[in-house]
Amino acid sequence: MAFSDEWSGADPHEAAEQEYLRTLVQAEADGDDRAVEAALRPRTLDEVVGQVRVRDQLGLVLEAARQRGRAPDHVLLSGPPGLGKTTLAMIVAAEMQTPLRLTSGPAITHAGDLAAILSGVNEGDVLFVDEIHRMSRPAEEMLYMAMEDFRVDVVIGKGPGATAIPLDIPPFTLVGATTRAGLLPGPLRDRFGFTAHLEYYEPGELDLIVRRSAGLLGVELTSEGAAEIASRSRGTPRIANRLLRRVRDYAQVRADGVLDRKVARAALELYEVDELGLDRLDLAVLDVLCRRFGGGPVGVSTLAVAVGEERETVEEVAEPFLVRNGMLARTPRGRVAMPAAWQHLGLTPPVESFGAQQALFDE
Ligand SMILES: Nc1ncnc2c1ncn2[C@@H]1O[C@H](COP(=O)(O)OP(=O)(O)OP(=O)(O)O)[C@@H](O)[C@H]1O
Ligand SMILES: [Mg+2]
């Protein structure tokens, strides 16, 4: 082990630190988040910040169901990590004043797992299936029968001796969440009466979220401090809350505890999150792309080697945000730096190269 470390020249401390810095702007939850998230989650639709259209539509679905005294239609929540899918699922149960049963796609590997869950469902319960696109195919088929007919056939035994025992399920509401709606098979998707697609949040909305969280955590945050954190949160409440916690640490240890603009800026600089929310990896990708490869096009594997990262990390962690920000484009011939990237690095884009890049989009 020591031998291979020596060879790779890897410093475990540096690796751990880099990993930590990276998780700061990743939209996925880590252990630290999960504990705090429970405390910061809005509990009613009224407490939800932003997502105005989804909130209105979902509110109407729930209100109508309440008036009819029935379980609401099945709800599908889709959208990138950290935007509030789990939060909304919990709110559906809370607003209907019914228990929430929670499971996730990867936990349902056999149809039998799902049958066991369904057999425990009571009338009006909300069954939340997180990462619903990761359920096994047989379970998926059982689920859409349950959603439509409120019954399933449980197959006992194998081969010619197998028998199907019908199981009636009381009317319930399925709430599915997915970051990859495109991976859901059509028949399953079609059985949701209401589909909500969550969008990234505007800075103003993130501002409200950060202030609300600061209130709940009992920290003093100025409006400029809030704006500073909000503008670097990549449109994602989970990241906003995480940055808030790091700024709070800084304020507590190195300042007087008040999260103002100066403290927020200093803290986020320390954690290497820049004005737009770009972290060290994002900047490294842009830097290599512009300075070393003249703006591209360059293949993602080459890019990954050049920044010393795994291809997956570059593709799944750095690129989505850079693409959304209009800094990087994925073209059939490779990655290309857009004018915004050059500008952000304080460089002048070579004119002729951008003309050549334009041609790539016409392919
Ligand atoms: N609209 C909102 N208003 C206020 N806070 C929010 C909102 N949406 C999300 N949050 C905060 O962000 C955190 C993450 O949200 P949530 O866990 O619901 O995301 P998710 O979409 O389920 O993510 P994942 O795909 O990783 O499961 C929550 O704990 C909550 O504090
Ligand atoms: Mg979730």
Q: Is 178 in the pocket of ligand 1 (CB under 6 A)?
A: no
CA-based diameter of the chain, in Å?
75
For the entire predicted model, the pTM comes to 0.86
How many whole angstroms from 169 Cα to the centroid of ligand 1?
30
Q: Name the percent of the chain lying above pLDDT 90.
A: 70
- Nearest alpha carbon, ligand 1 atom 25: 81
Instruction: Please report the domains of the chain, with CATH numbers, ordered by start residue.
Output: 47-197 (3.40.50.300), 204-271 (1.10.8.60), 280-345 (1.10.10.10)
* The Cα angle at residue 190 between residues 187 and 192, in degrees rounded to 5: 125
CA of 130, closest atom in ligand 1? 27
Contacts of 252 (CB under 8 A, 6+ apart): none
Give tens-digit pLDDT for 297-339.
Answer: 999 999 999 999 899 888 888 898 899 989 999 999 999 999 9
- Nearest alpha carbon, ligand 1 atom 8: 84
- Nearest alpha carbon, ligand 1 atom 24: 81
Determine the residue of 56, 83, 213 to mutate for testing ligand 1's pocket, defined as the one with the most ligand atoms within 8 A of the Cβ atom. 83
d(CA 78, CA 151): 26
d(CA 176, CA 126): 10
Q: 88-92 contacts: CB < 8 A, separation 24 or more? A: 88/48, 88/54, 88/58, 88/175, 88/196, 88/198, 89/126, 89/128, 89/130, 89/175, 89/177, 90/41, 90/43, 90/128, 91/42, 91/43, 91/44, 91/45, 91/48, 92/58, 92/62, 92/126, 92/173, 92/175
Question: Would the pLDDT of 125 be above 80?
Answer: yes
Give tens-digit pLDDT for 233-259.
Answer: 999 999 999 999 999 999 999 989 899
73 in catalytic set? no
Query: Is there a contact between 288 and 294 (Cβ–Cβ < 8 Å)?
Result: no
Contacts of 14 (CB under 8 A, 6+ apart): none
Which pLDDT score, from 0 to 100, does residue 66 have?
A: 95
Question: Is 265 among the annotated ligand-binding positions?
Answer: no
Q: Is 85 in the pocket of ligand 1 (CB under 6 A)?
A: yes
86 in catalytic set? yes
d(CA 98, CA 124): 7
Which pLDDT score, from 0 to 100, does residue 31 have?
A: 73
Determine the residue of 238, 241, 244 to mutate for testing ligand 1's pocket, defined as the one with the most ligand atoms within 8 A of the Cβ atom. 238
The single residue of 130, 207, 279, 282 carrying the catalytic annotation is 130
d(CA 201, CA 214): 18
Q: 220: phi > 0 → left, psi -120 to 50 → alpha, else beta; which?
A: beta
